[in-house]
Structures are given as structure tokens and as C-alpha cells.
Structure 1
Amino acid sequence: MSECIFCKIAKGEIPATILYKDDKVVAFKDINPEAPNHLLVIPKKHIQSIAHASVEDTEEIIPQIFKTIQQLAEELGLKEKGFRIVNNCGNQGGQTVDHLHFHLLGGRQMTWPPG
């Protein structure tokens, strides 16, 4: 997707504060943080949403995303205190960028319901 902002970040075409990058996944700081620690963890491959993920994606890429989230939570000192993982899917689910992404939020008390 040549116009996808997250694809451009993954390719290094748009600057971002990258905290993790491998052959399948990129994690970077959200530019409008909702918590002291607010990262976005995305696949390098363009997948519109979790509803559009293939079997291969759910077997290979999604597990790598969650391993990355675990690693980053540990590195940021969130493992013991707690954190939230959010994935918005589709317009009514609150997805604003049509590229699969997971929010990792931590560093403050989370409330429920989220909104």
C-alpha cells in the first residue's frame, strides 16, 4: 500500500521513534500518546485489520507481534505493574489507520470501560 502511513514508517520513509524492528514487526512510539508508555506494534506486511489476516498471518506474524509486546513490556518495566494491549478493528471498532496495529499502553492506571 503505497499511501499507507504505517507501511511508510515500516519502510523508513516517514520518521518515527522505533523501539523494535525485525523482519516481520516494527514497534514505535505513538505520536499522540494516551499513557506514559504508548507504542504501536505493527506487521511490516500490509494487513488491513485482524479481520483481513490470513491463516499464514495468524500463524507467523501475529505470534511475533505478541512476542514483541512481551519483550517491550519487560524492557519498559511494565510487566509487574500491568499494561493494556488494544486492537481496534474496522470503523465501528475505532480503527483510524487501515493497517493492523496493536497499542501497548502502560505507566498509569487503566480504567474500564475504555470508551
Structure 2
Amino acid sequence: MAYDPNNIFAKILRGEVPSKKVHEDEHTLAFHDINPLTPSHILVIPKGPYVSFDDFSEKASDAEIAAFTRAIGKVARDHGLAGDGYRILANIGENAHQEVPHLHVHIFGGKRLGRMLPKE
């Protein structure tokens, strides 16, 4: 999957599409999902043009990687999710149903979550 500079997250980063921001620093942006699946459903994205985690881990600077990781933890703490628990999820590629070609992590919380994957 190639990076599309007109994807929805790139547009949010450029200010062309509004978002309900909850965290922003030099390297990351976090905002509420517009179609939440749990009471707390927040997306964390790097500001750089990375399609996937493998792309990010290969090309991002140490500062970008640290900021992204720290942002995920900070957002979870700031929204009261760290105590009761939360789930982070990144869909990477076609088999995982990645819909937007920009690395993003979903933070789910605010209720008891089911199994990670149903048994088949």
C-alpha cells in the first residue's frame, strides 16, 4: 500500500478536515474517532507520511518513535483508561482491513472488551 497524501488523516494533519483533538505534540496527533466502537475510541497518528508500522519502524527517527509510543500511553492515562484497561489496535495492510493508508493506532476503552479475535 503506497502512501496517499490525500488520505483523511493527511487532510486532518493539514487542517483541511476538522477533528476533536485530545493530544498533539511535534510528532503525533490524537483525536476521537468519528464512529466510536467503545465509550473511549481515540486514534493516535504520527505526523509523518508512514503507511504502516513496518514502514514507520524502518524510516522514522528515534524521536518520532518515542513520541508516538509515549502519546499512546499519555492519551490512555489522560482518559482514565490505564486503571481498568484498554486495547490498542493497528490494522496493517489488506488482510487486516487497513482502511486509511496512514499508520494509526486505535485506543479502545471505557467498557469491558471481548476476546481479541473470535475463535474460528
Write the deviation string for residues 11-43 of structure 1: whole angstroms up to 9, x where unpaired.
Answer: 211001011111110000001111000000001
**SS where residue 81 of structure 1 aligns?**
coil
Shift of 1:54: 4.8
Alignment partner, residue 109 of structure 1: 112
Within the candidate set 54, 61, 66, 2:69 is matched to: 66
Alignment partner, residue 79 of structure 1: 82
Q: Distance in 1 between the 2:74 and 2:54 partners?
A: 25
Superposition pairs for residues 1-80 of structure 1, below 5 Å? 1-57=4-60, 59-80=62-83
Q: Distance in 2 between the 1:67 and 1:38 partners?
A: 17
> What is the aligned-residue RMSD (CA, Å)?
1.6
Bigger drift between 102-111 and 63-72 goes to: 63-72
Shift of 1:61: 1.9
Unmatched segments (≥5 aa) in structure 2: none
Aligned residues with identical type, % of pairs: 36
Write the deviation string for residues 46-73 of structure 1: whole angstroms up to 9, x where unpaired.
Answer: 1011122253416332321121111111
Q: Is the 8 A contact 2:22 2:31 kept in 1?
A: yes
Bigger drift between 84-93 and 52-61 goes to: 52-61
Shift of 1:8: 1.0
Q: Distance in 2 between the 1:72 and 1:61 partners?
A: 16
Task: Calculate the TM-score normalised by the size of structure 1.
Answer: 0.91
**SS where residue 41 of structure 1 aligns?**
strand
